[in-house]
Amino acid sequence: MAEPLILAIESSCDDTSAAILRGNRVLSNVIAGQAVHEKYGGVVPELASREHQKNIVPTVHTALREANVEAKDLTAIAFTQGPGLMGSLLVGTCFAKGYAQALGIPLVAVNHMEAHIMAHFIEQTPVMPMICLTVSGGHTQIVYVKGPLQFEVLGETLDDAAGEAFDKCSKLIGLPYPGGPHMDRLAKEGDPMRFEFPISQMPGYQFSFSGLKTAVLYFLQKQLKHDPEFIVNNQADLAASIQHTIVQILLIKLRKAVEDKGVKSVSLAGGVSANSHLRDSVMSWKSDAFDVFVPDFQYCTDNAAMIGCVGYYRFLQGQEAKMDVVPMSRLKI
Ligand code: KG4
Ligand code: ZN
């Protein structure tokens, strides 16, 4: 029997994305970004919902066209149920429900955080069990992955997410939103050892990033009193030093989880896994006896292909959603 043909919809934050998958193979993965938030220095939920409303139909049509697939041939529709912004999630959920009903095909509800991990199962099957570090704008988690859809969360952040730490610290040193990619680029020109910031000491596999943001703020306030040009003159060294600190905080816990669980593979997921310092550091652990999985850039940040991959595995297990399914802003793994 042919593998199921799945349309996936992602609308949890500020990217509208639609993908078509045949099994776990991606035929198209279309992402419509939302530049409207840039001037506000962060995502404005109300504007995000309105942009999704504008983008969703053309994005789905483009995904179908690029995959050379007709809607009548679809087997199921997978959509992001949560976690995320309620207004944004509602747009994707309502669209998915309406389209599934019109086409007379099943609906599959997908957890966005599971999808970031399951991006590793797109067109491959990683070595398992593995430890996955999921680092995004809203979440930071260390997850023990026993198999597809078999997860045990070992620890997470108690306050800010790693992506938030990147974005908030970037803002403090004058970089545009979202700061993560800008800090990554600028850090390449700077000295990561120039400034020392505190590495939070949390129990077990827990993280905390809010102290770092405060430490950077106080440090900058002090320096600016003596030298109003301090940030401008030291921006690259600041970026490199802050990035180094965030990556060290992540690597210490990741290493601990790998050693404690005795796994033979590790993986990165979520938007922050696009960070080149984090990727290079984890890649350096690779050996004949130890595997490292880092998703393609297009599957690191929010995308519908990863939603489709979870949708595929859930569909195989017969886990269809009912028509009264609702989005959940705080959905947990
Ligand atoms: O997973 P994602 O696309 O959206 C959420 O679900 O949050 O992650 C977005 C986050 C943002 O905080 C962004 O600054 C960060 O990922 N990010 C990066 C890089 N690219 C994206 N952070 C550091 N370095 C990067 N290269
Ligand atoms: Zn995400």
Which atom of ligand 1 is closest in space to residue 161's alpha carbon?
A: 12
Percent of the chain whose pLDDT exceeds 70: 100
pLDDT band at 42 (very low <50, low <70, confident <90, very high): confident
pLDDT at 23: 98
HSE-up (13 A, CA, CB side) for residue 232: 3
pLDDT in tens, 52-70: 999 999 999 999 999 999 9
pLDDT at 127: 92
Answer yes or no: is pLDDT of 1 > 80.
no
pLDDT band at 38 (very low <50, low <70, confident <90, very high): confident
Mean pLDDT of the chain: 96
156 Cβ closer than 6 Å to some ligand 1 atom = no
* Cα–Cα distance list, 121 to 50, 190, 209, 324 (Å): 32, 35, 29, 29
Average pLDDT (161-184) is 96
83 Cβ closer than 6 Å to some ligand 1 atom = no
299 Cβ closer than 6 Å to some ligand 1 atom = no
CB contact set of 71 (below 8 Å; sequence gap of 6+) = 7, 64, 99, 103
H or E element: which one contains 255? Answer: helix 230-261
pLDDT at 97: 98
Answer yes or no: is pLDDT of 307 > 80.
yes
The b/e string for 9-23 (b: 16+ C-beta within 10 A; e otherwise) is bbbbbbbbbbbbbbb
pLDDT in tens, 242-268: 999 999 999 999 999 999 999 999 999
pLDDT in tens, 221-247: 999 999 999 999 999 999 999 999 999
Average pLDDT (308-330) is 97
Write down the architecture of domain 128-294 according to CATH.
2-Layer Sandwich (3.30)
82 Cβ closer than 6 Å to some ligand 1 atom = no
pLDDT band at 289 (very low <50, low <70, confident <90, very high): very high
Average pLDDT (8-25) is 97
Q: Which ligand is nearest to the CA of 115?
A: 2
Which atom of ligand 1 is closest in space to residue 277's alpha carbon?
A: 24
Average pLDDT (178-200) is 97
Beta strands per DSSP E along the chain: 5-10, 16-22, 25-32, 76-82, 107-111, 130-135, 140-147, 150-156, 265-269, 291-293
What are the structural domain ranges in the chain? Answer: 5-119+299-316, 128-294
Task: For residue 13, give the 3-state DSSP assignment.
Answer: coil
pLDDT at 39: 85
pLDDT at 295: 87
H or E element: which one contains 164? Answer: helix 162-172
pLDDT at 16: 98
5-119+299-316 sits in which CATH class?
Answer: alpha beta
Q: One fold for both 5-119+299-316 and 128-294?
A: yes
Q: In this structure, which residue's CA is closest to atom 23 in ligand 1?
A: 180
Q: Is the dihedral of CA 57, 61, 12, 319 positive or negative?
A: positive
Answer yes or no: is pLDDT of 288 > 80.
yes
Answer yes or no: is pLDDT of 165 > 90.
yes
More confident site: 23 or 178: 23
